[in-house]
Amino acid sequence: MDHTAPLIDFPADESGRRSSTAFGRAVVADALRQVDPAAAAAAERESDWRRGYPRHFKALVETGLAAGGAAGYQIAEAGLASVQARIRYRRDDGDFTLAQALMAAPERSLETVEVKGTARPETEVVLPYKGELLRGDALRRQLDAWVTAGVIEESGAEAVGEVAASPDWLDLSDQVLVAAGAGTEMGPVASVLGWGGTVLALDLPRERVWERVEKIATAGAGRLLAPVSGETPGADLLNDLSAVAQWLLGFEGRLILGNYVYAPGGAYPLLAAAVDALGTHLRQHRHDTAVAFLATPTDVYAVPEAAVTDSRNRYATRPARSKAGALLTGGRMLRPNYPYPGEPGINDSLVPQQGPNYALAKRIHRWRATVARRDSTVGFTVAPPTNTRSVVSNRWLAAAYAGAHLFDVEIFEPETASKLMALLLVHQIRKPRSAAPAAWQDEAFAATHGGLWRIAYQLRTALPLAAVPGLVLSR
């Protein structure tokens, strides 16, 4: 990548160094400052951000709850404002904000390539699961089983049931999905195309990515359109943001901007900021634009009392071998998920191995969903832990996932998770909800956390034990 070309990057310090660590620390402090100055100062003083970031991300949730009322919305607004003020769009003639970059004329224009599907549109809700195609009563039984097992919140099962009972909702001809990260396994592209919908696909101009996207489009029943400026379709959002914005605004119809991008390391929060700025730009020009996100289950959430009670009951009836295991580790392992009863409880399922850049990118998504729900339609769901390529490429996480069933956590396969999330997106588009009095209540709706909210143990104190047999199983 030519670094003399326009490039989205972190702000430079006095020495000219651009650090994702300094950026993350500053954004978290800015988000906390208005509601809890002491918590903001603690984040700023954190000398080991790589290891110490989890407690400050937990403080973002705890502070919002302690302050009550609209504090969660204030934190989200402040965090987003910090991100957009700090991220720079670098050019030869200086550094600019993303908003300024989007208002400028693009360096080049993008053409369009189209792929039409060859199948008939699906007209009923069908969910692939463990080699079967669940529909009708079989689907309902599985949803009930997930609720009973604590894998999905009841509101999620009810939402999928509503979509199944209203199959006409699957006709998305009145919507256009803008899929940022079209080639990702968890995104809804395959489902929307299977229903005969239209997708504007954004992903990197890489041959293997385009081959995957083109294959999905050909197998579907809808239309996929992608930007192109060279031999391979696609666009780099970190270089071509204004060109992508201009390209998108050239299409008619109500847009749903789905943020499904993923990148390793510091590129992830940069992409999160870029897509966030793109969404703001689109809504300024198209006020009916919706936004959609998939939240990671490995984060910190405020959860309803029913989840707390279920978890505490499981902990109270845990087997004797678990009690012995906790004693043998000096109380470091198998700690209770919720030491205290009440609503809301704090579920801390952050996995430090995923790192502060991952946590920040996902928090940017959550903040935008929180703020946008007050004046537009939002698709937001806590997605289940899933065996995606990005997860299984990490040997420790792959092992922990392989052994997670020993602690009543269900790890989903990508085809099941992506279809389930697509159905929940349809429900939220067809039956939009207004913002709740407290931001955490919006996040808890239809959460498909795989059991993390209701298991007996705090995740970080169980995963290492799950990884032991998982190292064998994952092989």
Q: In this structure, what token pair is assigned to residue 91?
A: 């050019």
12 vs 81: CA distance, rounded Å: 18
The number of CA neighbours under 13 Å toward the Cβ of 61 is 22
State how far the Cα of 215 lies from the Cα of 224, in Å rounded to an integer.
11
Residue 61 has pLDDT above 90, yes or no: yes
**473 has a pLDDT exceeding 60:** no
* 19 burial via Cβ count (<10 Å: 0-12, 13-18, 19+): middle
pLDDT at 2 over 80: no
Element (H, E) at 231: none
Read off the pTM. Answer: 0.95
Share of the chain above pLDDT 70, in %: 97
Q: Place 470 in a pLDDT band, splitting at 50, 70 and 90.
A: low
Alpha helices in 151-255 (DSSP H): 154-165, 189-194, 207-219, 241-248
**What's the pLDDT band for 395 if we cut at 50, 70, 90?**
confident
Between residues 322 and 252, the one the model is more confident about: 252
d(CA 22, CA 88): 14
Furthest-apart CA atoms within the chain: distance in Å: 67
- Return the structure tokens found at 106: 């693009």
Whole-angstrom CA distances from 241 to 7, 66, 201 are 9, 38, 14
What is the average pLDDT value for the chain, to the nearest integer?
Answer: 94
What confidence tens digit (pLDDT) does each residue in 340-393 have?
A: 999 999 999 999 989 999 999 999 999 999 999 999 999 999 999 999 988 878
Residue 339 has pLDDT above 50, yes or no: yes
Q: Domain spans of the chain?
A: 8-107, 111-305+334-473
Mean pLDDT, residues 36-56: 97
In this prediction, residue 124 carries a pLDDT of 97
**Among candidate residues 124, 229, 223, 144, the one with its CA nearest the CA of residue 179:** 223
Scan for tokens 């998108």, then name that residue. Answer: 248
Which alpha helices (H) appear in 11-152, and where do they start and end?
A: 20-33, 37-45, 49-67, 71-86, 98-103, 136-149
Residue 3: what pLDDT? 40
User: What is the arithmetic mean of pLDDT over 426-442?
Assistant: 94
Share of the chain above pLDDT 90, in %: 85
Higher-confidence residue of 221 and 108: namely 221
Identify the three-state secondary structure at position 320: helix
Q: Give the model confidence (pLDDT) of 110-154 as tens digits.
A: 999 999 999 999 999 999 999 999 999 999 999 999 999 999 999
Pairing of strands 378-382, 290-295: parallel
pLDDT one-digit tens code per residue, 188-221: 999 999 999 999 999 999 999 999 999 999 999 9
Burial of 127 (0-12, 13-18, 19+ CB in 10 A): buried
What is the per-residue pLDDT for 1?
37
- Which of 131, 188, 132, 196 minimizes the C-alpha distance to 170? 196
pLDDT of the residue at 475:
57
Q: What is the DSSP letter of 457?
A: B
- The structure tokens listed for 203 are 């992903």
Predicted local confidence at residue 328, as pLDDT: 72
* Burial group, residue 320, by CB count within 10 angstroms (0-12, 13-18, 19+): exposed
CATH number of 111-305+334-473: 3.40.50.720
CA–CA distances in Å: residue 380 to residues 69, 127, 237, 270, 392: 21, 20, 22, 20, 24
What pLDDT score does 92 carry?
83
Check pLDDT > 50 for residue 305. Answer: yes
Q: Evaluate whether 287 touches 372 at the Cβ level (below 8 Å).
A: no
Q: Which two tokens stand for residue 279?
A: 């969404």
Quick count: other Cβ atoms within 10 Å of Cβ 287?
9
Is the sign of the CA dihedral 73, 75, 78, 84 positive or negative? Answer: negative
